[in-house]
Chain A
């Protein structure tokens, strides 16, 4: 009986993205002092460092800061990032590395404009705060000549401390590299944030943006149309997805760019075609490659940027199923925005049910701390879409 209980516990234990290795831990408390989510604490009685995985958002700041390498992380750890660099160095035929926080990264043209580089190895990570000194030094040792880092504006960092920490880290590292003879600014750090773009000529003064913006960035105080305080805007894209006049757009995630991306992915996909819109904080994608030949994904700055327009466009163009992966409400890096996104998708699903399309659209809430959560949702959705498609063929 007792054995049975233990066995079932083992089966239900989920794989987690972050682990503390007690054997290596020297109880220095650096991790617990840096964790933006109070997920790591030092037990006052035993002096042991404890991880509360439910609070962990897998930003990787603790991982990059641990002097004892006592933290194991499954996404973008130093070893796999280096392996990736080694592999793609030839593919991009460049010795310039651009490391970007996904939350603030513009497209290739934008990077060119920001840093003045045209040929580079791109590396997108969920937060630059997870990039350790070790990785940067190893990259230089590997033959990377120039390193550019693109972080979010400090007050805009979704992980709170990732961007400021990176600033301090690069400052110290550059001093060290200068002493070694690598010049004054061996590593260039810049900051960027994605913001809403408004076409006031199209505004119908309905006030939806002003009502729904979680940051008070949109204001409608006169009949002349909504105004935006771009310092307050955090680029979630919710207002863009709900604006009834289609008067808003989001830097780097413009409506037309997403449409073009859908067409491009579609042309590369096998049947049955499944398109995944992922919130970049809900699922951390593999470093390269697609999920499978028939499943392609678009990583958005927040699930709220998923527009009914793009979901329907995907169906119109021949996508068989659309899956939306968002953060659970309590993990949303924007204020309560994932719940709004879920509401919008639910509403669209109700309307799709009137023409028999509802099973082709699915919304799921997943967190990167449990990597199998998304895999499971995707597997189930894939089976459902395969069943729908084979049923259709038989007809």
Chain B
């Protein structure tokens, strides 16, 4: 899932201050914590209260989209809603915001979230953690299902670096050393041989992907 963190309300209020009629679009897709209809509604209520303190009356329309990053779905759900709207506030990740912005070239489409990473949610602990860097060259089959590109602070492909203390990373003692985890996992599976193989550097030229499915 794409993990996002909502911008401070002040910043959002600043961004919408030139407009009055605003469409708030939630996204039921993968953004975590969920930014669906409830979040869109709550945000409209908070912004209305915040607006009043700035002597500004906003008129909000609130909807949610199944997946804003899908231009077909975003178009079919948003197009009927934009009449008379001066700006769209999107609760989606950066990809969703850009999809909607492309759909409505004449409308300002403003982000509500800062998009952080592809991660997992530990519901018990209430923690969201990064797990995937979308590098385009997956080696999880060789590393016991633990990604060193994302979880090793140095992004080493041939670890460990030797700096870990008690299984914790020397860069951030709150985090596990990814390479120690990989070692333990492979040992458990009897696949330590995989570590003997040298991995060449990744191709860092791969950026701004464009693919045909």
Contact = CB atoms under 8 A, between A and B. Distances in A.
Interface of A: 202, 204, 206, 208, 211, 243-246, 308-309, 312-313, 315-316, 351-352, 354-357
Given A211-B123, A354-B9, A245 B37 contact: yes
Given A244-B36, A245-B37, A354-B8, 16 more contacts: A202-B37, A204-B28, A204-B34, A206-B34, A244-B33, A244-B35, A309-B38, A312-B45, A312-B49, A316-B49, A351-B9, A351-B46, A354-B9, A354-B46, A355-B9, A355-B49
Contacts of A206: 28, 34, 36
B37 A309 contact: no
Interface in B6-56: 8-10, 13, 28, 33-39, 41-42, 45-46, 48-50, 53
Interface of B: 8-10, 13, 28, 33-39, 41-42, 45-46, 48-50, 53, 64, 66, 123
A246 B46 contact: no
Contact of A355 (B28, B39, B53): B53
A349 to B, nearest CB: 12
A309 B34 contact: no
Contacts of A245: 28, 34, 36-38, 64
Contacts of B64: 245
Contact of B38 (A244, A313, A357): A244
Contacts of B50: 354-355
Contacts of A208: 34
Contact of B10 (A312, A315, A354, A357): A354
Nearest to A211: B123
A125 B36 CA distance: 38
Contacts of B37: 202, 244-246
Nearest to B47: A355
B42 A312 contact: yes
Contact of A315 (B36, B38, B49): B49
Contact of B49 (A211, A308, A357): A357
